[in-house]
Amino acid sequence: MCLAVPGKILSITDNANARVDMMGATRDISLRLTPEAQVDDYVLVHAGFAIEVIDAKQARETIEILNDLDELESEELGVAPAASAADAAEPEAV
């Protein structure tokens, strides 16, 4: 199964690389597959590559689904959910 996680572009370091905030974690990624991406855009990131530019609503919905999966896993395993850094990193309402 493949999973792409939304990230907000914080800066573009050159024509093909960017720094993104992915649910509270900062990562360097490649923009080779999405050369149209700009600072403040949301992108889906898979295996270190932005694979699609998405809007803030889609990013927020995807983050909510990922948070729900984390909570379901925690309930299944009987452990507390992971720290909620993702809550602080949710995209603003559109």
Predicted pLDDT at 15: 74
Domain ranges of the chain: 1-94
Predicted pLDDT at 67: 85
Name the phi and psi angles at 4, rounded to 5: -110, 135
Beta-carbon count within 10 A of 43 CB: 27
Cβ 43 vs Cβ 54: under 8 Å: yes
pLDDT tens for the chain, 94 residues: list them.
Answer: 678 899 999 999 987 999 999 989 999 999 999 999 999 999 999 999 999 999 999 999 998 988 888 777 666 766 665 555 445 456 665 5
Amino acid at 34: T
Beta bridge partners of 12: 18
Predicted pLDDT at 20: 97
What's the CATH number for 1-94?
A: 2.30.30.140
Amino acid at 11: S
Predicted pLDDT at 89: 55
